[in-house]
Amino acid sequence: MRAAFLLHRRPYRDTSLLLECLVAGEGRMPLIARGAAKGRLKGTLQPFQPLTLRWRGRGEVMTLTHAEAVEKPLDLKKKLLYCGFYLNELLMRLLPRGDACDNLMQVYWKTLLHLQYSEYPDWELRRFELQLLQETGYGVVLDSTCEGEPVSSNTTYSYNIGQGVTRDCSAADALIHGETLLALHQGEWRNARERHEAKLLMRRLIDHSLDYKPLKSRELFR
């Protein structure tokens, strides 16, 4: 049995479900839940709850043989539910199948838990986005410039994708204050401007990593 989370499910043939799961020691992996379109198993296979799974077979898509809910699903509602869908879609789009990522799995669960109680859930999303980019090979350095200088909270910078933070502020649409960069780096925010600038920066980085293909979950926020 392996600890897991359900990221996505869809009908498969008449009675089965095709699952995408985040599994300890395996990373993202597809599974077929035969006969699970109705009945108890479908009720067990819910997003935003810890599961334990067992499977069998060979090839890329295994057959699920057992699923058990470790806890009840988190009660994410309205905007928080959209946030959860956003996290799942990012993992589906950015995390390659078979890339073991137990640290990221812990970050994912921690983010879901914090979303329930955080006064500013968007900041929880920023932390997760940064960690996901780091884990998938998109190194994001926020506390020093590409010129090798430490970032100062009292200085205005820009962020050039492919290079990093720079004092060259000729690209006016990419300006960001040093205090925002340090807040992101430290995982803490202090004011509304930092939240806004952090959102714009992380959207640029996420969009670039997705080759500028749209995210369905963003439509839910609109």
Q: What CATH number is attached to the domain comprising 195?
A: 1.20.1440.120
Q: Which residue has the higher pLDDT, 146 or 101?
A: 146
Mean pLDDT of the residues in the chain: 92
In this prediction, residue 172 carries a pLDDT of 59
Least confident of 20-29, 33-42, 82-91: 33-42
User: Does residue 93 lie in a domain region?
Assistant: yes
- Same domain assignment for residues 93 and 50: no
- Same domain assignment for residues 84 and 62: no
Q: Which residues contact 39 (CB under 8 A, 6 or more apart)?
A: none
Q: Which residues contact 10 (CB under 8 A, 6 or more apart)?
A: 17, 18
- Same domain assignment for residues 44 and 147: no
Residue 173 predicted with pLDDT over 70: no
In this prediction, residue 98 carries a pLDDT of 84
Residue 39 predicted with pLDDT over 70: yes
- Same domain assignment for residues 91 and 170: yes
Number of domains in the chain: 2
Whether the Cβ atoms of residue 108 and residue 27 lie closer than 8 Å to each other: no
- Same domain assignment for residues 100 and 207: yes
- Same domain assignment for residues 39 and 84: no
| For range 159-173, the mean pLDDT | 83
Largest CA distance in the chain: 61
User: Does residue 94 lie in a domain region?
Assistant: yes
- Same domain assignment for residues 199 and 113: yes
User: Does residue 74 lie in a domain region?
Assistant: no
Q: pLDDT, tens digit, for every residue of 99-131?
A: 888 899 999 999 999 998 888 899 999 999 999
The β-bridge relationship of strands 164-166 and 2-12 is unpaired
- Same domain assignment for residues 133 and 90: yes
* Residue 19 to residue 33: CA distance in whole angstroms: 7
End-of-domain residue from the set 69, 95, 111: 69
| For range 8-23, the mean pLDDT | 94
Task: Give me the domain span that covers residue 12.
Answer: 2-69
pTM for the model stands at 0.93
Whether the Cβ atoms of residue 134 and residue 202 lie closer than 8 Å to each other: no
Residue 197 predicted with pLDDT over 90: yes
| HSE of 51, CA atoms in CB hemisphere, 13 A | 24
Residue 165 predicted with pLDDT over 90: yes
Q: What CATH number is attached to the domain comprising 10?
A: 2.40.50.140
CA-based nearest residue to 165, from 144, 193, 182: 144
- Same domain assignment for residues 58 and 94: no
User: Does residue 85 lie in a domain region?
Assistant: yes
- Same domain assignment for residues 148 and 43: no
Residue 14 predicted with pLDDT over 90: no
